[in-house]
């Protein structure tokens, strides 16, 4: 799994986690539940095109839309060269970070690291680029001299903890500490 580390700085959640650590033992049960819930929440962000902070992701550039349309059969009218209804529908429904294969949005997983840590991420090699963004040419050039990436990619944070996620984490911790669901 590609590793992107995001620190959670939330006093309520941290107090609960500190209590879990103080009690010791195997925390894999509540951490697995937290991992599953946060992974699901992260995947849901691709439907809303919003980061964990609630900010909308930058839209796709007109160049990206044009490239995608050129690969879409029936997107342009042979007679006028303009967009067909199929092309217009495609553009209207195209969300940032959601490609044809939906690979990034469907590969969000959690992994337990021992009995006291959980990580959430994606195995897609480009996950970090989309999370943090990249400047044109940040990864060098191709053999033919083209920049990698060929243009600037804005950051579109999909990993992280939302306000709702914080509440979920605290609820899981409270359930564990009180013996509910365990």
What are the tens digits of pLDDT across the range 23-73? 666 788 899 999 999 999 999 999 999 999 999 999 988 887 888 788 888
Residue 129 and residue 116 in contact, taking contact as beta carbons nearer than 8 Å? no
- pLDDT bracket for residue 142 (50, 70, 90): very high
pLDDT at position 27 is: 84
Greatest mean pLDDT range, 46-50, 74-78, 100-104, 173-177: 46-50
Q: Is residue 37 part of a domain?
A: yes
Q: How far is CA 45 from CA 106, 162, 163, 177, in A?
A: 11, 10, 13, 29
Q: What is the mean pLDDT of the chain?
A: 85
Query: In Å, how far from its chain's centre is CA 76?
Result: 32
3-state secondary structure at position 60: coil
Q: Is residue 89 part of a domain?
A: no
Number of domains, the chain: 1
Q: Is residue 147 part of a domain?
A: yes
76-108: burial string, b at 16+ Cβ within 10 Å, e else: beeeeeeebeebeebbeeeebbbeeeeebbeeb
Range of the domain at 149: 11-59+96-178
Q: Is residue 167 part of a domain?
A: yes
- pLDDT bracket for residue 6 (50, 70, 90): low
Q: Is residue 83 part of a domain?
A: no
Question: pTM of the prediction?
Answer: 0.75
Residue 107 and residue 123 in contact, taking contact as beta carbons nearer than 8 Å? yes
Q: Is residue 5 part of a domain?
A: no
The string of DSSP codes covering 94-153 is --TT--SS-HHHH-EEEEE-TTS-EEEEE--TTHHHHHH-B-TTTT-B-TTS-BSSSS-B
Q: Is residue 46 part of a domain?
A: yes
110-120 residue pLDDT tens: 999 988 889 99
Q: Is residue 119 part of a domain?
A: yes
- pLDDT bracket for residue 109 (50, 70, 90): very high
């Amino acid at each position: 799994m590609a590793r992107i580390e995001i620190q959670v700085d939330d006093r309520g959640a941290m107090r609960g986690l500190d209590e879990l650590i103080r009690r010791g033992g195997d925390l894999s049960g509540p951490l697995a539940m937290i991992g599953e819930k946060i992974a699901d929440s992260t995947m849901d962000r691709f439907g809303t095109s919003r980061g964990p902070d609630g900010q909308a992701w930058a839209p796709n550039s007109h160049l990206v839309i044009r490239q995608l349309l050129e690969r879409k059969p029936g997107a342009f009218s042979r007679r006028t060269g303009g967009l067909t209804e199929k092309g217009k529908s495609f553009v209207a429904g195209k969300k940032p970070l959601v490609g044809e294969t939906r690979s990034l949005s469907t590969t969000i997983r959690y992994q337990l690291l021992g009995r006291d840590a959980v990580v959430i991420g994606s195995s897609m090699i480009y996950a970090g680029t989309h999370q943090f963004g990249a400047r044109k040419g940040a990864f060098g050039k191709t053999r033919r001299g083209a920049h990698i990436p060929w243009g600037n990619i804005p950051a579109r944070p999909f990993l992280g903890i939302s306000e709702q996620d914080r509440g979920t984490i605290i609820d899981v911790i409270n359930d564990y500490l009180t013996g509910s669901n365990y």
